[in-house]
């Protein structure tokens, strides 16, 4: 049974990584990478890719975490390919093999044969089940639309009105629907790109509005309870809350980066769904599921690399079901 989950994204394997010590002090049962696990120095060279990801594996702090906690991962733009790539058939298979080999995915795992690295795992007994759904928004994604913004600080992309534009591809959509119909009390849906955010021209689900609405419609149609999105990519940390018609608040918790936060970012950072302020120092996310309380509760924290907790919110698990209550606050 999982009580404590840590998560984060954006690790440069060539930089210091003191964040692993803080994560160890949190004592997670599970750690989830939400993308950009490593930064290839020469993305087209598979031998160099293997050496780059091996540098992460050789970090003493990361090695300790591997020994003490389960680790799950999806990828982002950096570890899939060159910055924000569309699907590249010539390289996808080799890049996937390197990624899955690093995380010890068995040779007979379905992840080895799917057109992508998506997956789903359920931990715990009935009544205390945590489901983790790892989405892959890279392998099957159609090209993004370049924006006409005058300033790159506003971001390089614009919403695409093509209803056929996809992040997931049909096979992954079918898989997601099957998983959302399985019983679970808490569901962490892992997406490297943010789900709630609508402003700005950076990567986000809102860049494909038909695909984003399809996601919300699937959540409504399956009546999936307990959904919380864990996201990354943005080199900042924030919690977003919106009404997507689920019957309870849709929470999007972004933790980024583990050692690559945008301390001096000047980019457009508007987000009407943000709760409080964003965190621009190196950070990770920390979830505590208090299964044994009379009213089980989820605590969501965004912590700095020294372990301090600038952002913390609590919500009863009953608040993640239809006709529920909103966030209770700090």
Measuring CA to CA, how many Å separate 163 from each of 158, 174, 208, 245, 286? Answer: 15, 17, 8, 21, 36
How many CB atoms are located within 10 Å of the residue 47 CB? 9
Predicted confidence at residue 254, as pLDDT, reads 98
3-state secondary structure at position 172:
helix
Let me know the angle formed at the C-alpha of 127 by 125 and 130, rounded to the nearest 5 degrees. 65
CA–CA separation, 164 and 53 (whole Å): 34
Backbone conformation region of residue 223, classed left if phi is above 0, alpha if psi is from -120 to 50, else beta: left
Predicted confidence at residue 328, as pLDDT, reads 44
- The 8-class DSSP code of residue 318 comes to G
CA–CA separation, 60 and 82 (whole Å): 28
Residue of 82, 113, 86 lying closest to 100 (CA atoms): 113
Predicted confidence at residue 276, as pLDDT, reads 87
How many CB atoms are located within 10 Å of the residue 281 CB? 16
Measuring CA to CA, how many Å separate 42 from each of 48, 96, 141, 193, 257? Answer: 7, 16, 22, 23, 21
**What CATH number has the domain spanning 4-320?**
3.60.21.70
Q: Which helix (H) or strand (E) element contains residue 31?
A: strand 30-34
Give the pair of three-digit tokens for residue 61. Answer: 């702090």
Predicted confidence at residue 86, as pLDDT, reads 43
Asked if 222 and 233 count as a contact pair (C-beta separation under 8 A), the reply is: no
Residues of the chain with pLDDT under 50: 83-87, 150, 266, 325-330
pTM exceeds 0.75, yes or no: yes
130-134 and 227-231: which strand pairing? Answer: unpaired
CA–CA separation, 284 and 176 (whole Å): 26
How many CB atoms are located within 10 Å of the residue 111 CB? 17
């Amino acid at each position: 049974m999982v009580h404590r989950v840590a998560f984060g994204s954006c690790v440069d394997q060539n930089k210091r990584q003191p964040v692993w010590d803080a994560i160890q002090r949190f004592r997670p049962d599970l750690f989830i990478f939400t993308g950009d696990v490593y930064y290839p120095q020469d993305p087209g060279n598979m031998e160099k890719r293997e050496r780059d990801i091996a540098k992460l594996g050789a970090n003493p702090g990361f090695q300790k975490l591997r020994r003490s906690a389960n680790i799950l991962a999806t990828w982002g733009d950096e570890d899939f390919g060159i910055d924000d790539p569309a699907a590249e058939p010539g390289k996808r298979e080799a890049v996937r093999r390197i990624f899955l080999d690093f995380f010890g995915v068995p040779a007979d795992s379905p992840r080895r044969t799917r057109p992508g690295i998506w997956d789903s795992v359920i931990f715990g007994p009935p009544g205390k089940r945590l489901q983790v759904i790892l989405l892959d928004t890279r392998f099957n994604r159609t090209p993004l639309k370049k924006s006409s913004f005058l300033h790159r600080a506003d971001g390089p992309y614009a919403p695409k009105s093509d209803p056929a534009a996809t992040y997931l591809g049909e096979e992954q959509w079918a898989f997601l629907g099957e998983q959302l119909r399985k019983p679970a009390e808490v569901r962490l849906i892992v997406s490297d790109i943010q789900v709630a955010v609508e402003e700005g021209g950076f990567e986000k689900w809102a860049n494909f509005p038909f695909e984003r609405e399809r996601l919300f419609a699937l959540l409504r149609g399956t009546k999936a309870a307990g959904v919380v999105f864990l996201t990354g990519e943005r080199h900042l940390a924030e919690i977003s809350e919106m009404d997507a018609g689920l019957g309870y608040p849709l929470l999007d918790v972004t933790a980024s980066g583990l050692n690559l936060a945008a301390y001096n970012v000047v980019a457009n950072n508007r987000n009407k769904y943000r709760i409080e302020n964003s965190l621009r120092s190196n950070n990770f996310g920390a979830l505590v599921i208090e299964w044994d309380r009379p009213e089980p509760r989820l605590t969501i924290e965004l912590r700095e690399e020294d372990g301090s907790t600038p952002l913390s919110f609590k919500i009863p698990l009953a608040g993640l079901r239809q006709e529920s209550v909103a966030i209770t606050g700090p």
